[in-house]
């Protein structure tokens, strides 16, 4: 599924086209997404998009009367197109603007979402989320304190959105490899010094992915239709059985939390 860098790339891609533009119409062709699309989203009609923000993997189109919340789910993507562009299969939602542009949500599996948030409130889906990984709120101290007495595998721990948001499977694999930490090691057994290293690698790995346009995933397309290029730099994810870039030993693969987990048994302890 699209991870945090892909969602941030989508935000960067759509923002110049819809910020300061008035929403003329919200068209919901299929309200049966992961959650039913509420009629309240039409409250945005006639309103100007003041900004496009992101919280975890949720995108928020902010207006004075509220925010349209969009989530890409497993296979969703957003495109900014002219309203004359023919519809594709699974184009479920159009947000039309006075300038003729349309923000179009396509979602084949319908695990995405389109929701509504009134001003000065926080939608219940975002109420218990952890800090954003690229902010000063996410620190080694935060990780260390949250991890105490936790027997859960550290990979599952850093992928828990209540601990920190947006560290998905790809970037958890990569960050743990760079930090030299075995993904199955108990979170509570890791020292503060090692969490300091891991925190820095999480920040750098995600920032690098965003800078390079997001990882190329099977179902993900950027707003400009071009794939991301960060996949070319992946050190362990998707490389099970190949040689470790550090020691040349064969990379191993296990399942943690029903997710593919690739690591080097020599370099990661």
Determine the Cα–Cα distance for residues 49 and 80; give it in Å rounded to an integer.
Answer: 14
By the 8 A CB rule, do 249 and 158 touch?
no
The yes-or-no answer on residue 259 being catalytic is yes
Q: Where are the alpha helices (DSSP H) in 110-267?
A: 140-147, 154-158, 169-179, 192-211
**Confidence tier at 206 by pLDDT (50, 70, 90):** very high
**What average pLDDT does the structure give for the chain?**
92
Quick: pLDDT tens for 22-58. Answer: 999 999 999 999 999 999 999 999 999 999 999 999 9
The yes-or-no answer on residue 3 being catalytic is yes
* Interval 196-213 mean pLDDT: 92
From 83, 185, 246, 259, the catalytic residue: 259
Quick: pLDDT tens for 154-169. Answer: 999 999 999 999 999 9
SS (H, E, C) 55-120: ECCEEEEEECCEEEEEECCCCCEEEEEECCCCCCCCEEEEEEECCCEEEEEECCCCCCEEEEECCC
From 55, 57, 79, 194, the catalytic residue: 57
pLDDT for the residue 198: 98
The yes-or-no answer on residue 2 being catalytic is yes
Residue 15, H or E segment: helix 4-18
From 2, 5, 133, 183, the catalytic residue: 2
pLDDT for the residue 142: 98
**Confidence tier at 220 by pLDDT (50, 70, 90):** very low
Q: Is the pLDDT of residue 226 over 60?
A: no
Q: Is the pLDDT of residue 219 over 80?
A: no
């Amino acid at each position: 599924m699209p991870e945090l860098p892909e969602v941030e790339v989508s935000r960067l891609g759509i923002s110049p086209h819809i910020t300061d533009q008035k929403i003329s119409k919200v068209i919901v062709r299929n309200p049966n997404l992961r959650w039913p699309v509420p009629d309240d989203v039409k409250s945005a009609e006639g309103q100007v998009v003041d900004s496009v923000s992101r919280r975890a993997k949720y995108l928020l189109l902010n207006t004075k009367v509220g925010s349209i919340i969009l989530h890409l789910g497993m296979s969703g993507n957003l495109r900014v197109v002219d309203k004359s562009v023919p519809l594709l299969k699974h184009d479920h939602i159009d947000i039309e603007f006075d300038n003729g542009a349309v923000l179009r949500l396509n979602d084949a599996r319908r695990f995405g979402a389109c929701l509504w948030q009134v001003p000065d409130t926080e939608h219940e889906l975002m109420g218990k989320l952890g800090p954003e990984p690229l902010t000063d709120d996410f620190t080694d101290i935060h990780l260390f304190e949250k991890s105490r007495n936790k027997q859960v595998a550290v990979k599952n721990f850093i992928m828990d959105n209540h601990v920190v948001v947006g560290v998905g499977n790809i970037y958890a694999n990569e960050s743990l490899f760079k930090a030299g930490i075995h993904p199955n090691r108990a979170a509570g057994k890791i020292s503060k010094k090692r969490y300091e290293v891991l925190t820095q690698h999480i920040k750098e790995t995600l920032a690098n992915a965003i800078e390079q346009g997001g990882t190329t995933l099977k179902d993900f397309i950027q707003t400009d239709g071009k794939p991301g290029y960060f996949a070319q730099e992946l050190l362990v994810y998707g490389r099970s059985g190949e040689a470790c870039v550090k020691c040349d030993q064969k990379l191993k693969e296990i399942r943690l939390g029903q997710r593919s987990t690739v690591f080097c048994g020599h370099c990661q302890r």
